[in-house]
Structure formats: structure tokens, C-alpha cells
Amino acid sequence: MEAVRRQITLAHLSDIHFGKIAHPGIIDALVDEVNRHEVNLVAISGDLTQRARRREFQAAAEMMARFQSPTLVVPGNHDVYAWWYPLQRLFQPLGRYLEYVSDELAPTFTGDGIAALGINSAHGRTVKGGRIGSAARASMQSFFADRGGEVFKVLVVHHHLTRIQALGPHDVARKAALTLELASDMGVDLVLCGHLHVSHIHPMELLPGKHRLVVASAGTATSSRGRRSNRETNFYNLIRVESERFFIEERRYHADTKRFEVEQTTELERTLS
């Protein structure tokens, strides 16, 4: 695969939560915004629905069909059957997600110097905290292993793989440490996640001298379920990748203008090896 020769752009959305949409028109504003930027890929890191209801999944599928760019999506814990469906939650937790959204739980995207992989962390037995199974790590190994350092590598997952002090106490997926170490070993540049409904950019180096990766946690793009510093706010990330650096714009929705505007931009150097 060739390296990045021109700027590429990714849109990172998370925690849409159809069933708990914050503002009339915010879905239209988000779709128009993403399409206006002509992104190379729309990455959605889970929780498309509030209660995994059919009408919520249908609304999510209709939204994704409106994007003019390829879409890579993974499920979140709210996309699992609710607890009042105990058998479905245990034995086919993502049944409706697979029916309405995608039958692929390890989706991939390659092109324009980027390699992106989504993995599933949402399971019926883990309630809300998430778990990364061995099959997901095997997908990471096989997908990223032969990608050169010049390719920009992106991992998309709903739950966090590390505890970030700035976010306070929060869930970390089971087997997260193994997964994060593998991501570093595979040269992953950027981990896109959600779940916490807080927008935050966190560069990290597991060990001195090892490959540095960046964790970008997106706020809830469209729902009324913002938390902590992001209460009653909506964010998504716009990521611009160049040959030697990349920029993450945290874009916040303003209900008065019905537009997403840049809240802040973080510039990061790429770790080329």
C-alpha cells in the first residue's frame, strides 16, 4: 500500500444514540457537515442506539446511507439487546445490529495511505464495560502485520483500552492491556473510541522508545447524554492526515446556529518507522 501523498480526512463519530437525540435537526447538520468536508472515511465507534430497538437501528441505517463517503462502523454496549431480553442478550446480543447495520464485526478500510480496522468490544455478558476477545486481537494481527510504517493505521473500538486520568474513573474493556500492547506492536497510529461521551485527545507511549499511539475519544455526536465537561454538548472529530503529522479537530455543535464549529485542534507528529 502506498504512503500518504496528499492530505486525507477522516470523520470520527460516536455514541449517536438514536432514541435520545439532543436537538431537532442535529442529524441533518451532522450529515451535511461530514459530506461538506468530502472525507475519505466515516468511522463510527459504536452506540448507534439507546435501547437496541428496531426503529433506532433503522434510523441509524438511514443516517449512514446518507454519507457520501465509505463508512466503517462497530457496535457499542447500547447496541446489545437490553437486559429485559435475557436470552437474546446472552446468545445473540448483537442480533439486531447484524440485521440492520452490518454483518461484519471486524470491518476494514484501505486506500489513500490509510489502513483502518474496527473490532467489537460489545458483548452480552459484560454488561457495559466491554471486552476484547481473542478473535478481535487475531484480526488486528493479521490486518496490521504487513502494513509498512508509512501507512497511517487506525483502530476503531467502542470501549477504552486504557485508563485516562483526565477523564476521571471510567470503564476499561477486559483484555484491554493485551489489546493496547498489540496495537502498539502493530504500529497503530490512532485509536478511535467513544463510550464515555467526553471529547478528549490522549497521546501515549506504553514504554519509553516504543511506538507512540494516540487515543481519540469522541463525545456523543448527537445525543442528550453528554457527561462531565461535555454535559449538554455534542462533539465529533475531524482528522486530517499529512505525510509527517496529523491534526484532530474536536468540533462542537451549536444549537443556536445549528452548525458544528471547531472547539480546538490538536497537532500531532506521526511516528514513522
Q: Distance between CA atoms of 172 and 128, rounded to whole angstroms?
A: 10
- For residue 212, what pLDDT is reported? 84
φ/ψ of residue 35, rounded to 5: -65, -35
DSSP letter assigned to residue 108: E
Instruction: Identify whether 57 is part of a domain.
Output: yes
- For residue 136, what pLDDT is reported? 97
User: Which of 256, 216, 250 lies closest to 235, judged by CA?
Assistant: 250
Q: How many domains does the chain have?
A: 1
User: Which of 15, 107, 93, 28 lies closest to 56, judged by CA?
Assistant: 15
- For residue 1, what pLDDT is reported? 47
Residue in the block written with cell 473490532: 119
Instruction: Identify whether 3 is part of a domain.
Output: no
Instruction: Identify whether 155 is part of a domain.
Output: yes
Name beta bridge partners: 35. Answer: none
Q: Distance between CA atoms of 25 and 186, rounded to whole angstroms?
A: 40
pTM for the model: 0.94
C-beta separation of 157 from 121 below 8 A: yes
Q: Distance between CA atoms of 97 and 105, rounded to whole angstroms?
A: 10
- The CATH number assigned to the domain holding 69 equals 3.60.21.10
Structural domain for 111, as ranges: 8-269
Terminal CA-to-CA distance of the chain, rounded, Å? Answer: 15
Q: Distance between CA atoms of 15 and 219, rounded to whole angstroms?
A: 7
C-beta separation of 197 from 225 below 8 A: yes
- For residue 207, what pLDDT is reported? 61
Mean pLDDT, 10 residues at a time, the chain of 273 residues: 72 98 97 97 98 97 98 97 86 95 97 94 80 96 91 97 85 93 94 95 77 92 82 92 95 96 95 67
